[in-house]
């Protein structure tokens, strides 16, 4: 027994005597790391070999191109751009794993932020341009320099610009938009018209340089998994999947759905991190960033990667790694399937994959690399935040220059990993044969597979068709089969026989790839018959992509198959959108097919029928709409799917009321054209459902009452306003009264007894209803004059809009009521209240009650509250006077994404809110009530960007000065006593 004990002791001794790094600063950095057990982290490049790195890419010879953004941060206030940016080419000449030779491949760049090898050179993202640079003479310095695309917006700070060039399986190169847009042209093709787009991601063809805008609004982070699923990131949204593309949604001009991105991970206040440093995010001291970020949750998510290498442990495969530079850590999240999309969560609750006590550790980018390792870029700065987001008076307190001579790149592998463990399948290096490269596609390692894929794509080899076919059919790894399948397609080497085999593959991800190849390609038409069988595929994601593909096939069989998918998956919004987006011009055929399915899942059936009704209302003929409606109104029980279908129809057709014959009994009677004698009885049953049925059915029933008439439905809606009903039910009743557009509804909403009983969550919906209908405005004005409603409860945007209305009587009345608020000097109010803060002895617990009463409807704090405005959880370190400023002067600074848009629709209603998403077909607004409103562009009469906040001025009129002091104390101290 002595020998095992001795051996164990020696292992412990050796582990405790690891060789120290020769560079004391690097050793100090290594000592500061906390890394998952069983792994090791080692530097592969560090200053002065690399300075200010933000991205890198390996070529096939394992040379590393590193992007040095030395000019960051760029000038805060529209100063001159620097030209300090560089691309350096690093080599490991002695093969010891550490890069020891540096060439300045390119210099004189402004703020470069992304790189991708291509045909012996590199694409470089550096807004407003994408460059292609190449060293043609072997001296390590680029001598071919081209601007291949230009026009990407560069008016915002350098960290929110186009970046992350990444090759997709389709052979296109995808880039993030950096929350920006542009007007994109190619100097190589001056005859092409510009591609103009707003904030979105994009892609370009590396051969033709054609550019397209895509789904997604990613900031500094983009990764594509081995099966082509694309994930982006933004500061407080760590993992977002781009599920739908705009060209698929735009196939159906009558589809109001315009979402394209799924939050895969928890976001904002729920996106928890576990830092071990004492770093305080600079944003917490910055008034301009109120609600944008806070310690303990993601504030600077970037540089994510879906890891599929071989040098970590098996449990790391398929995980997503996200850099969080502000809090000195890298988080690992485990990904799971979730319908047509995914969900992810932290791997180890309470502990990060990699964290450092060193506040200068600033991980910004992670990526695969040789030997299957995970590589991480550390920009290494004392302050990572941009000065543009720091008040001018505070900038002198922060050292934005410290660290501008530093930078590190690390490699993470298993503790027992040895270089000899590297996957030996195939060869990827200059001079590798096509045969070698196809063999490398079969590797277990993602870097080797991806590099081989790129080299074969570049070479356009034509002698590898049989070898690719063999890989597609017999490779060990599904990831290898997927790359081989797409490569065969991209090179024109894929035949219908092989594609059909892929469509019948035992691997669901391969069936998924084969379906996507069929989606937009006519050369495989004879294989499209196989799609019909995939409507019954066991994989929801295969069915999702099958629905998109079937939408491009104009046949009765494809409609029948789409109906099958809808019946099974219609409760999932992505699957429903995939089906409905392909129904342009054939809605009636689909309705007939869908109605004939007896085995439909009830929730799916109701959800699909509601959207079908909306499609028909938006784009069907009035005769078709009436016929559909009258088939729903029967003397039998009021089924949920009938309510859903009728509601969708009413929602769609309300923008076309001018096409209907007027009916004093309301929209439902106008749609029915008086041809159905059962409607009175149907609405009577509908009221019974509204008062007592299950949640979803009740919700739809209440909404549908809003399209009847006041005399018929007011008794039920009045009951639903009682406080014993949930806030959600009360809000639905309020919205129904608003849709009825009868002034008596406004009088009901403003009854003194009811007004006093509205909770903070309900009252904003009442106000929104009163200001959205011109027929309600006299009632609103009367209530303000009587002092029942405070003028300050109306937002500055709506006060201004009412004061500028074309109806002179309304404008004059609004001016009289609101002139003090709108004409007053808000900064004078702020200065007056600053004195209160100096002398107050506030109590945080009383402030908590005030927050619940006045703020929680719109703002989240400590994980609780609404999602209309910014999350306020991270503002405790901001000065009290900064908090006061943003409370009293909400329009002092409004982030573009929170600026209110005012939309007047053709049905006479007005909606205001900030844009959540938009496509060519329409947009979705997040209103002051927290509800999302989708609007078709064809139903928009006018759209105005106010540039203002949804938050009203004059909040001080709803509370005492003592209350204000208590509120600010709570915001600074939270729930701590």
Residue 795 lies in a domain: no
Of 487, 530, 481, give the one whose Cα is nearest residue 509.
481
Phi, psi of 62 (to 5 degrees): 70, 15
Greatest C-alpha distance within the chain: 100
Residues 6+ apart with CB under 8 A from 834: 881, 884
- Tell whether 748 is covered by a domain: no
Instruction: Using pLDDT thresholds of 50, 70 and 90, give the confidence band for residue 502.
Output: very high
Q: How many residues does the chain have?
A: 977
The stretch 192-210 carries a mean pLDDT of 96
Pairing of strands 39-46, 195-197: unpaired
pLDDT at 390: 61
pLDDT in the model for residue 896:
45
Give me the half-sphere count of Cα atoms (radius 13 Å) on the Cβ side of residue 551.
27
In whole angstroms, give the CA distance from residue 496 to residue 523. 9
Q: Which among 419, 443, 470 is the end of a domain?
A: 419
Chain CA centroid to CA 869, Å: 16
Instruction: Please tell me which residue, 47 or 158, carries the higher pLDDT value.
Output: 47
Q: Which tops the pLDDT comparison, 851 or 452?
A: 452
Distance CA(807)–CA(823), nearest Å, equals: 21
Contact yes or no for 40/411 (Cβ under 8 A): no
pLDDT at 16 over 70: no
The residue from 679, 709, 739 where one domain ends is 709
- Integer Cα distance of 284 and 287 in angstroms: 8
Split at pLDDT 50, 70, 90, the class of 293 is very low
Tell me: cis bond preceding 73? Omega within 30 of 0 counts. Answer: yes
Q: Kindly state whether residues 63 and 212 are assigned to the same domain.
A: yes
Which alpha helices (H) appear in 460-555, and where do they start and end? 465-474, 478-490, 496-503, 508-519, 529-533, 540-550
**Whole-angstrom Cα distance, residue 848 to residue 972?**
11
- The tens digit of pLDDT for each residue in 32-49 reads 999 999 999 999 999 999
Which helix (H) or strand (E) segment holds residue 834: the answer is helix 826-839
Closest-CA residue to 879 (of 910, 838, 920): 838
Using only C-alpha atoms, what is the Rg of the chain? 30
* Chain centre distance of CA 596: 37
715 part of a folded domain: no
Does 665 reside within a domain? yes
pLDDT in tens, 788-805: 888 877 877 788 889 988
> Can you tell me whether residue 499 is helix, strand or coil?
helix
pLDDT at residue number 224:
98
Whichever domain contains 936, its CATH number is: 2.30.30.100
- Give the Cα separation of 450 and 444 in Å (integer): 11
CA distance 548 to 577: 9
Distance CA 575, CA 586 (A): 18
* Residues 940 and 905 sit within 8 Å (Cβ to Cβ): yes
Best CA proximity match to 676, nearest among 720, 716, 627: 627
Q: Exposed, middle or buried: residue 958 (CB in 10 Å: 0-12, 13-18, 19+)? A: middle
Res. 114 pLDDT band, cuts 50 70 90: very high
Answer for the pair 192, 131: CB distance below 8 angstroms, yes or no.
Answer: no
123 vs 11, more confident:
123
> 642, 675, 709 — which closes off a domain?
709
Distant-in-sequence, close-in-space partners of 700: CB < 8 Å, separation ≥ 6: 606, 610, 640, 643, 644, 647
Half-sphere exposure of 703 (CA within 13 A, CB side): 18
Say what the pLDDT of residue 393 is: 57
- Domain match, 415 and 429 both: no
DSSP state, 52?
S
pLDDT tens digits for 118-153? 999 999 999 999 999 999 999 999 999 999 999 999
**Residues 613-635: pLDDT tens digits?**
999 999 999 999 999 999 899 87
Integer Cα distance of 631 and 624 in angstroms: 11
Rank 485-499, 592-606, 879-893 by mean pLDDT and report only the highest. Answer: 485-499
Between the ranges 281-285, 528-532, 562-566, where is the mean pLDDT highest? 562-566
- Residue holding tokens 């055929």? 589
Q: Is 813 among the domain residues?
A: no
Contacts of 522 (CB under 8 A, 6+ apart): none
Cα(321)–Cα(446) distance, rounded to whole angstroms? 15
In this prediction, residues 394-402 reach a mean pLDDT of 70
β-pairing, 932-936 vs 922-927, is antiparallel
Copy the structure tokens of residue 259. Answer: 């979402």
Same domain, 406 and 441: no
3 state SS of 698: helix
Question: What's CA 640's distance to the chain center, in Å?
Answer: 32
Count CB atoms within 10 A of the CB of residue 382.
Answer: 15
Q: Are residues 415 and 431 in the same domain?
A: no
Alpha helices in 889-924 (DSSP H): none
Whether 124 is covered by a domain: the verdict is: yes
Mean pLDDT computed over every residue of the chain? 88
Report the CATH number that the domain containing residue 90 is assigned in CATH: 2.120.10.30
Number of domains in the chain: 5
Q: How far from the centroid of its chain's Cα atoms is residue 195's Cα?
A: 22
Say if residue 692 is in the same domain as residue 548: no
Supply the pLDDT for residue 440.
Answer: 97
Specify the DSSP class assigned to residue 657: G
DSSP string, 776-796: GHHHHHHHHHTTSS-GGGS-H
What percent of the chain clears pLDDT 90, i.e. is strictly above it? 63
The residue among 676 and 174 whose pLDDT is bigger is: 174
Let me know whether 574 and 627 are in one domain. Answer: no
Same domain, 502 and 610: no
Report pLDDT for 527: 83
As given in the structure block, the two tokens for residue 846 are 């009383």
> Do residue 191 and residue 135 come from a single domain?
yes
Is the pLDDT at 11 greater than 60, yes or no?
A: no
Beta carbons of 244 and 252 less than 8 angstroms apart: no
The band of 392, judged by pLDDT with boundaries at 50, 70 and 90, is low
CB 157 within 8 A of CB 182: no
Query: Does 629 lie in the same domain as 500?
Result: no
The CATH number for 534's domain is 1.25.10.10
Domain around 968 = 825-973
Residues 413 and 440 in one domain: no
Higher pLDDT among residues 419 and 392, named by residue: 419
How high is the pLDDT of residue 295? 63
- Give the per-residue pLDDT at 962: 84
Average pLDDT of the residues in 714-727: 90
DSSP for 932-964, written as a single string = EEEEEGGGEEEEEE--S-SSPS-GGGGS-HHHH
CA distance 637 to 634: 8
Residues 388 and 353 reside in one and the same domain: yes
User: How far is 288 from 157, CA to CA, in rounded Å?
Assistant: 15
Name the token pair of 427.
């060869």
Is residue 253 domain-shared with residue 343, that is, in the same domain? yes
37 occurs within a structural domain = yes
Residue 742 lies in a domain: no
């Amino acid at each position: 027994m002595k020998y095992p004990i001795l051996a164990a002791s020696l292992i412990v001794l050796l582990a405790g005597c690891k060789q120290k790094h020769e560079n004391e600063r690097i050793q100090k950095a290594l000592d500061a790391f906390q890394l998952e057990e069983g792994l090791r982290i080692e530097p592969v490049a560090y200053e002065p070999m690399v300075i200010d790195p933000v991205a890198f890419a390996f070529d096939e010879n394992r040379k590393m191109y590193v992007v040095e953004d030395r000019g960051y941060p760029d000038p805060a206030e529209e100063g001159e751009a620097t030209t300090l940016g560089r691309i350096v080419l690093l080599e490991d000449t002695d093969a010891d794993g550490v890069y020891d030779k540096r060439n300045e491949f390119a210099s004189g760049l402004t703020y470069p932020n992304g790189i991708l090898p291509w045909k012996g050179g590199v694409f470089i993202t550096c807004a407003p341009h994408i460059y292609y640079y190449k060293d043609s003479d072997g001296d390590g310095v680029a001598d071919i320099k081209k601007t291949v695309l230009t026009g990407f917006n560069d008016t915002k700070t350098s960290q929110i610009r186009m970046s992350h060039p990444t090759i997709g399986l389709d052979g296109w190169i995808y880039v993030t938009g950096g929350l920006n847009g542009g007007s994109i042209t190619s100097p190589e093709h001056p005859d092409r018209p510009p591609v103009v787009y707003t904030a979105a991601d994009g892609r370009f063809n590396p051969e033709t340089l054609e550019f397209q805008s895509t789904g997604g609004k990613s900031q500094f982070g983009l990764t594509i998994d081995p099966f082509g699923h694309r994930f982006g990131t933004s500061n407080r949204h760590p993992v977002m999947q781009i599920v739908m593309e705009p060209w698929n949604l735009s196939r159906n001009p009558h589809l109001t759905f315009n979402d394209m991105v799924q939050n895969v991970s928890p976001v904002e206040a729920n996106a928890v991190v576990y830092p071990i440093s004492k770093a305080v995010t600079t944003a917490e001291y910055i008034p301009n960033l109120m609600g944008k970020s806070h310690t303990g949750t993601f504030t600077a998510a970037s540089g994510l990667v879906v890891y599929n290498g071989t040098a970590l442990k098996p449990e790391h495969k398929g995980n997503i790694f996200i850099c969080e530079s502000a809090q000195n850590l890298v988080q690992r999240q485990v990904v799971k399937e979730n319908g047509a999309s995914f969900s992810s969560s932290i791997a180890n609750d309470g502990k990060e994959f990699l964290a450092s006590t060193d506040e200068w550790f600033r991980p910004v980018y992670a990526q695969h690399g040789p030997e299957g390792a995970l590589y991480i870029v550390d920009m290494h700065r004392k302050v990572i935040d941009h000065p543009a987001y720091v008040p001018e008076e505070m900038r002198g307190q922060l050292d934005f220059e410290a660290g501008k001579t530093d930078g590190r790149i690390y490699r993470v592998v298993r503790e027992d990993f040895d270089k000899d463990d590297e996957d030996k399948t195939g060869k990827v290096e200059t001079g590798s044969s096509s045969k070698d490269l196809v063999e490398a596609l079969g590797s277990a390692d993602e870097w080797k597979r991806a590099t081989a894929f790129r080299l074969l794509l570049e070479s356009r080899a034509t002698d590898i068709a049989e070898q690719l076919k063999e890989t597609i059919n017999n490779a060990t790894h599904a990831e290898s089969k997927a790359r081989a399948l797409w490569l065969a397609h991209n090179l024109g080497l894929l035949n219908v026989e092989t594609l059909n085999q892929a469509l019948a593959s035992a691997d669901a991800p391969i069936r998924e790839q084969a379906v996507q190849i069929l989606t937009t390609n006519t050369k495989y038409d004879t294989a499209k018959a196989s799609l019909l069988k995939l409507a019954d595929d066991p994989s929801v994601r295969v069915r999702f992509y099958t629905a998109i593909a079937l939408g491009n096939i104009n046949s009765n069989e494809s409609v029948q198959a789409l109906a099958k998918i809808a019946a099974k998956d219609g409760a999932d919004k992505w699957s429903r959108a995939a089906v409905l987006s392909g129904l342009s011009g054939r809605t009636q055929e689909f309705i007939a097919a869908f109605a004939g399915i007896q085995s439909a899942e009830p929730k799916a059936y109701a959800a699909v029928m509601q959207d079908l009704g909306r499609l028909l209302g938006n784009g069907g003929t009035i005769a078709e709409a009436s016929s559909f409606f009258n088939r729903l109104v029967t003397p039998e029980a009021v089924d949920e799917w009938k309510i859903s279908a009728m509601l969708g129809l009413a929602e769609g057709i309300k923008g076309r009321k001018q096409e209907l014959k007027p009916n004093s009994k309301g929209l439902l009677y106008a749609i029915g054209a008086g041809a159905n004698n059962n409607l009175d009885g149907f609405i009577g049953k509908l009221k019974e459902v509204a008062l007592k049925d299950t949640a979803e059915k009740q919700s739809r029933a209440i909404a549908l009452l809003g399209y009847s008439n006041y005399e018929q439905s007011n008794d039920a809606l009045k009951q639903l306003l009682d406080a014993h009903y949930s806030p959600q039910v009360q809000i639905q009743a309020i919205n129904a009264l608003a849709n009825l557009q009868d002034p008596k509804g406004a009088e009901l909403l403003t009854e003194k007894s009811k007004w006093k009983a509205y909770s903070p969550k309900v009252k904003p919906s009442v106000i929104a209803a009163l200001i959205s209908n011109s027929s309600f405005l006299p009632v609103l004005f009367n209530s303000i004059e009587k002092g029942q409603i405070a003028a300050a409860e109306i937002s500055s945007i709506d006060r201004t809009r009412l004061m500028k209305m074309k109806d002179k009587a309304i404008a004059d009345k609004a001016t009289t009521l609101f002139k003090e608020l709108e004409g007053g000097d808000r900064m004078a109010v702020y200065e007056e209240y600053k004195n209160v803060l100096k002398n107050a002895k506030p109590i945080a617990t009383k402030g908590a009650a005030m927050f619940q009463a006045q703020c929680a409807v719109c703002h989240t704090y400590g994980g609780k509250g609404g999602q209309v405005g910014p999350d306020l959880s991270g503002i405790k370190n901001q000065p009290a006077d900064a908090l006061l400023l943003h409370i009293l002067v909400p329009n002092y600074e409004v982030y573009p994404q929170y600026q209110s848009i005012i939309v007047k629709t053709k049905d006479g209603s007005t909606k205001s809110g900030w844009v959540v998403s938009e496509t060519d077909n329409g947009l979705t607004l997040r209103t002051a009530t927290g509800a999302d409103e989708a609007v078709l562009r064809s139903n928009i009469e006018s759209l105005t960007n106010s540039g203002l906040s949804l938050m009203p001025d004059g909040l001080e009129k709803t509370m005492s000065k003592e209350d204000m002091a208590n509120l600010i104390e709570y915001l600074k101290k939270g729930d701590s006593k």
